[in-house]
Chains A and B, each alone.
Chain A
Amino acid sequence: MKLLLTGNYAAAYAVRDAQPDVISAYPITPQTPIIEKLAEFIDSGELKAKFVRVESEHSAMAALIGAASVGARTYTATSSQGLLYMYEVVWWAAGARLPIVMGLVTRALGPPWNIWSDHADFFTVRSSGWTMLFASSAQEVYDLTLIAYCVAEHRDVLLPALVAWDAFEVSHTYEPVELVEDATRLLPPKGAWAPPLAAEDPASLGNLAYPEEYAETRRLMVEAVRRVPLVFAEAAGRLRELTGRDYSRGYECYRCEDAETVFIAMGSVYGEVRSAVDALRARGVPVGALKVWLYRPFPYEGVARVLDGKKMAIVLSRTTSLGAMGPLATDVATALALKGCSVKLVEFSAGVGGVDVTEDDVVAMYKAALEREGGTYFWRGR
């Protein structure tokens, strides 16, 4: 079935199709339409979930921790200040190994107040143990949200997963979205994982651990995170069989094979990047583009393989990197260093706080990158 949906509604439809038991959320622009749509689904009986209308984001995530600890499938969504307000319990969810799924509509952090897209919120949780996916269209929001449940609840993983997408350009923009006819063919059956708490078999989740035991719980998390790419690829493979859409590598390449320069981006700007690649190619400039879907764990190997032998990598970071390269560029640098590749790396902070980035901007960035040394630059437009 194909519907015309915004990114936010696409998330709500994916959640409806995943049928969580407990949803909890607190309103914040630009996330709000998701939870309004979910409330409608619950009202109409299409979604049989309990909705805990909490008094803050901290409580939203805490409520899901309580729910998931006894075996519920769960969902929440937030943005920006909301994510920072729940930050403490975002980490708690991961440490407690609970397969919570969250939508994050990326939005700038204040001050000054700004409701438009910026990935600063997203990057703040990159070391928390959450599987982090980035969608660049409404279709991807739908697909990746379903995949997030598959990864989170897999018994080899049991870690929370989030799907992010850009404010407005994706969250509020209508696009045709193809739904999965029968999501149960993709998702794990309910109750496939054993919840940590049950009255029949009393146990304790999260009590004081001395250094050795604490370190052991973290080591086990590291191992679980290492298994994510495989589990992600499996789930994406099932989705491909159902729909033909393929996310299994965790990233997409566009005209990279014979490229000398590769743009790397996440989110809605990728559309402009692809157009710019076509425009530059039309002038005979050998460029390509790489879009990251699976941000954590980061696909170092795959990204390095794509970039190996290239002359230049240009990272478009939709955030301000203060005092160091931005996280995405740092990850690319790490991928290159681990593989021993020497590729010139240029990062542009572009699209910060919702600033429009056009195809012409991307073409101009290419020219600017040729003239400059490797490093981070703030893109102020042409």
Chain B
Amino acid sequence: MAHRVFPREEYLLKGHVACPGCGAAVMLRHVLKALGPNTYLVIPACCTSVIAGPHPRSAFRVPVLHIAFAASAAAASGMIEALEKLGKPANVVVWAGDGGTVDIGLQALSGAAERGHNIIYICYDNEAYMNTGIQKSGSTPHGAWTTTTPSGNPGFKKDLPGIMVSHRVPYVATLSPAYPNDTFAKLRKAASMRGGLKYLHALTPCPPGWRYDPSLTIELSRLAVETGMWVLYEVENGVFRLTGPSRALLEKGKRKPVAEYLKLQGRFRHLSPEDVERIQRMVDENWERIAEMLKEGGEHSSEQG
């Protein structure tokens, strides 16, 4: 896919106020390039409410509705219905943090998914409530330090893409700022699909929240994929498919050890070798599940053929 031409136009303008090395800002830049100017963003309370820059200016070259924390999927539902009624077709895109998606916004998201509005919902997942200063969310990984889990998160990260697959929406995919071509292809596909909500989930590193040097954002994003901690895939009309570099990682030997990803981040510094081992096992088990799923899917499709 290296031949794909990335649009030169910028929709995330200079002067936005994200921290240096913000993975979410990189991701949003790619997303907007893929979607183009006929795109309305709906943004709940999150870092991006600040990244946009202060009223009355905006660092985004597309219209933005800022909305209350829990309300983004519902606001987007009303907006797409209105645009359809008024004869103004456009992309309506929720851009929400992990807290606004997996926790407080989950009810509205679930409702919008079930109703089948033609919206694109993108969760940028920095694995904690960052806007309010690094508190644990339902998307914080096991063991991670946050200000409300000072000795590590005892819970486990929710599998929100999995929850969305269970809603039988037409498209679910994962994204990473390290792989813009993968992002581009998935966003273009999502924008071209009708018949329901398209859900995309991006792992976006956050230097102050994850405690690492801002220059390492892309490297960390890549390591998350290469260690298999973050899996790039898409589920199109119920059919699961690995995408990008994740396609080559089914075999355990092809994946880097998770320690390489964990050791770069201060939020995992307190982990013991046993903790790291446990996380490695969790990742390997997840890949075993993926292998089984692919096998079943393959058998299923060969039965059909």
Contacts and interface: CB of A to CB of B under 8 A. Distances in A.
Interface of A: 21-22, 24, 49-50, 52-56, 58-72, 74, 88-89, 92, 197-199, 201-210, 213-214, 217
Contacts of B74: 54, 58-60, 62-63, 66
A62 B67 contact: yes
User: Which of B73, B75, B108 has most chain A Cβ within 10 Å?
Assistant: B75
B65 A65 contact: yes
Nearest to A60: B74
Contact of B71 (A62, A67, A201, A210): A62
Contacts of B62: 199, 202
A59 B63 contact: no
Contacts of B72: 62
29 contacts: A21-B86, A22-B81, A22-B82, A24-B78, A52-B77, A52-B115, A55-B110, A56-B108, A58-B70, A58-B108, A62-B75, A64-B78, A65-B78, A66-B75, A66-B80, A67-B82, A71-B86, A92-B67, A92-B68, A198-B63, A199-B39, A204-B55, A204-B63, A204-B66, A206-B65, A206-B67, A208-B53, A209-B56, A217-B55
A208 B49 contact: yes
B50 A66 contact: no
B58 A62 contact: no
A207 B65 CA distance: 8
Contacts of B70: 58, 88
Contact of B78 (A66, A92, A217): A66
B86 A72 contact: yes
A171 B92 CA distance: 37
B101 to A, nearest CB: 15
A199 B79 contact: no
Nearest to A55: B111
Contacts of A89: 67-68, 71
B166 to A, nearest CB: 16
B40 A56 contact: no
Interface of A is mostly: mixed
A206 B42 CA distance: 11
B167 interface: no
Nearest to B17: A208
Contacts of A21: 82, 85-86
B231 interface: no
Given A53-B115, A70-B88, A63 B75 contact: yes
Interface residues of B, number: 49
A128 to B, nearest CB: 14
Given A22-B85, A199-B62, A207 B107 contact: no
A56 B111 CA distance: 9
B79 A50 contact: no
Given A50-B81, A88-B71, 10 more contacts: A22-B81, A22-B82, A50-B85, A61-B71, A66-B76, A66-B92, A198-B63, A204-B57, A204-B64, A205-B63
B86 A70 contact: yes
B59 to A, nearest CB: 9
A197 B37 CA distance: 13
B157 interface: no
A208 B85 contact: no
A71 B40 CA distance: 13
Contacts of A59: 71, 73-74, 77, 107-108, 111
Nearest to B90: A199
Contacts of A203: 58, 63-64
A22 B79 CA distance: 9
Nearest to B81: A50
Nearest to B44: A62
A7 B52 CA distance: 45
B78 A202 contact: no
A72 B82 contact: yes
A365 to B, nearest CB: 42
Contacts of B90: 199
User: Which of A88, A207, A210 has most chain B Cβ within 10 Å?
Assistant: A207
Interface in B165-188: none
B111 A213 contact: no
B81 A202 contact: no
Contacts of A56: 107-108, 111
Interface string B124-166: 0000000000000000000000000000000000000000000
B83 interface: yes
Nearest to B41: A204
